[in-house]
A and B are shown apart, each in its own frame.
Chain A
Amino acid sequence: GDSVTQTEGLVTLTEGLPVMLNCTYQTIYSNPFLFWYVQHLNESPRLLLKSFTDNKRTEHQGFHATLHKSSSSFHLQKSSAQLSDSALYYCALTHTNTGKLTFGDGTVLTVKP
């Protein structure tokens, strides 16, 4: 079945430094759809950004990610971390018509002053 791997369980950064959260996936289908969801403390997950186009950068709220089918990756990046970016970030995968989203284990990002 589908799987999503987020290698870092916890990332701690100083405010102003760049953010990169890793996400790789496995699927037998050739047209995957990749998502990043963010969950702030005591809140529910909400969509941050999504993509299904190979090698096209997608951006939202200062974050960006590019789906690379050749390396099965969809890393989340931001040029300068803010204190408010501290949250739990999930990478997720689906494909056409499945109606199911497979989530990675999540990465907790903590941004310190």
Chain B
Amino acid sequence: EAAVTQSPRSKVAVTGGKVTLSCHQTNNHDYMYWYRQDTGHGLRLIHYSYVADSTEKGDIPDGYKASRPSQENFSLILELASLSQTAVYFCASSADWGVGAETLYFGSGTRLTVL
């Protein structure tokens, strides 16, 4: 069974503060993703990566940075947290998309509240 671990499970941050969300996978997958989930907006892609030391912008990258220091680890960084970034954040991993039908394996999510 694929394993994606996120930390922390929940976090309360202050507006303007820095927040780092961490993700670790033991699947030996090339691809890793950060999605945010908001009621009524579904899952929206923030950043993704297909190789260590490289990240790509997703559909809503503004206000977020990502870091992929190794194949196993992928972090999401909010340099200046804002109220609008209150959401649930999911990390996911998948194998190579060469044939285009790979399964995403999600972590358990991080509930971020910005006050």
Residues of A within 8 A of B (CB): 1, 9, 31, 33, 37, 43-47, 50, 52, 90, 94-106
Residues of B within 8 A of A37 (CB): 104
* Nearest CB of chain B from residue A5's CB, rounded to whole Å: 11
Instruction: Give per-residue flags for B25-65: 1 if the beta carbon is below 8 A from chain A beta carbons, else 0.
Output: 00000010101000011111100101000001011000000
Q: Determine the chain B residues whose CB is within 8 A of the CB of A94 once the complex forms.
A: 97, 100-101
Chain A residues near B104 (CB-CB < 8 A): 37, 45, 47, 101
Of B42, B45, B100, which is within 8 A of A90 by CB? B42
Q: Are B101 and A33 in contact (CB under 8 A)?
A: yes
A99 contacts B48, CB within 8 Å? yes
The interface residues of chain B lying within 8 Å CB-to-CB of A43 are 108
Chain A to chain B contacts (Cβ below 8 Å), 26 pairs: A31-B100, A33-B101, A43-B108, A44-B90, A44-B106, A44-B107, A44-B108, A45-B43, A45-B104, A47-B104, A50-B101, A90-B42, A94-B100, A94-B101, A96-B97, A96-B99, A96-B100, A97-B97, A97-B100, A99-B50, A100-B45, A100-B48, A100-B58, A102-B59, A103-B35, A105-B41
Interfacial chain A residues near B101, Cβ < 8 Å = 33, 50, 52, 94
**Which residues of B are interface residues toward A (Cβ below 8 A)?**
31, 33, 35, 40-45, 48, 50, 56, 58-59, 90, 94, 97-101, 103-104, 106-109
Are the C-beta atoms of B100 and A52 separated by less than 8 Å? yes
Q: Are A103 and B58 interface neighbours, CB within 8 A?
A: no
> Which chain B residues border A47 with CB–CB below 8 Å?
103-104
| Chain A residue at minimal CB-CB distance from B107 | A44
Closest to B35 in A: A103
